[in-house]
C-alpha cells in the first residue's frame, strides 16, 4: 500500500487579487511563503520516496519549502510539465469578476459545467483531464508501492484525482476547489485507489 500526497502551491499576489494564472509564471508572495511553513511542518515527518512538481515557479518554490522543512532526508524534486495548471489563454491576468462580466467568459461555461470550452489560446478542462490522465497512468505504473508527494495546482490536481479514482470526467465539477497549501491524500491499495482526505487545511492557524 502506498500513500500519494497532493499539495496545491502557496498563495501568490495574483491569487490574493483573484486573478487567473494558468500558465503565467507568477511566484509566491511573502504571505504565501510564510503560510507554507505550516504545510511543511505538517509533512515534516512524512517520508516520501519520490517528489514531483509542476514546472511553474509557484509550485517548485512550494516543493522547495516543504523539502527544506522535512526531517526525513527527502529525495530530489522531479519537475514535470504535465502537472501544469490548465491554460486560460487570453484570460490570464483577468480577475474572476472580469470574466464573469463577459457573455463568452469562462465563468458562464463553468456554471454550465462545460468541459469542452477552451478560452482563446487556452485549454479546455477536457484537455486538462486528458493531460493529467497520462500522469495518472505514469503514477500507477511506476509508484504503486511508493509514498509520493506531488505539488501542483488547483484545477490540475482535481483532474489528476478524478483520473486516479477512475471517475467520469464530469465528476471534476463535484470536487471543491483546493486551498493554497492544502493537502489531499489518496491511498493506492490492491482493491483500488481510495481518497483518504481532500483539501486538508487544519494545519493552518485559525
Of 61, 85, 92, 123, the active-site residue reads: 85
- Run of H or E residues at 138: helix 125-142
Cα 187 from Cα 86, distance rounded (Å): 25
| DSSP SS3 for 107 | helix
Does residue 61 have an active-site annotation? no
Task: Show the cell assigned to 157.
Answer: 490536481
Does residue 23 have an active-site annotation? no
- Run of H or E residues at 77: strand 77-79
Least Cα distance to 160 among 132, 122, 140 occurs for 132
Least Cα distance to 174 among 133, 122, 115, 123 occurs for 115
171-189: b (≥16 Cβ within 10 Å) or e: ebeebeebebbbbbbbebe
Q: Which residues are catalytic?
A: 9, 85
Amino acid at each position: 500500500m502506498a500513500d500519494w500526497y497532493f499539495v496545491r502551491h502557496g498563495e501568490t499576489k495574483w491569487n490574493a487579487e483573484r486573478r487567473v494564472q494558468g500558465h503565467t509564471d507568477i511566484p509566491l508572495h511573502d504571505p504565501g511563503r510564510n503560510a507554507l511553513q505550516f504545510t511543511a511542518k505538517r509533512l515534516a515527518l512524512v517520508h516520501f520516496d519520490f517528489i514531483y512538481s509542476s514546472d511553474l515557479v509557484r509550485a517548485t518554490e512550494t516543493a522547495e519549502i516543504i523539502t527544506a522543512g522535512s526531517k526525513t532526508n527527502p529525495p530530489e524534486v522531479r519537475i514535470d510539465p504535465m502537472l501544469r495548471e490548465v491554460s486560460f489563454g487570453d484570460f490570464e491576468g483577468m480577475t474572476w469578476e472580469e470574466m464573469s462580466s463577459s457573455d463568452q467568459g469562462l465563468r458562464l461555461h463553468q456554471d454550465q459545467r462545460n468541459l469542452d470550452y477552451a478560452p482563446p489560446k487556452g485549454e479546455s478542462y477536457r484537455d486538462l483531464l486528458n493531460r493529467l490522465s497520462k500522469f495518472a497512468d505514469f503514477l500507477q505504473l511506476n509508484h504503486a508501492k511508493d509514498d509520493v508527494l506531488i505539488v501542483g495546482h488547483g484545477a490540475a490536481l482535481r483532474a489528476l484525482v478524478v483520473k486516479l479514482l477512475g471517475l467520469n470526467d464530469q465528476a471534476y465539477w463535484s470536487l471543491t476547489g483546493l486551498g493554497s497549501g492544502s493537502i489531499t491524500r489518496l491511498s493506492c491499495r490492491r482493491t483500488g485507489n481510495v481518497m483518504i482526505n481532500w483539501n486538508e487545511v487544519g494545519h493552518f492557524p485559525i
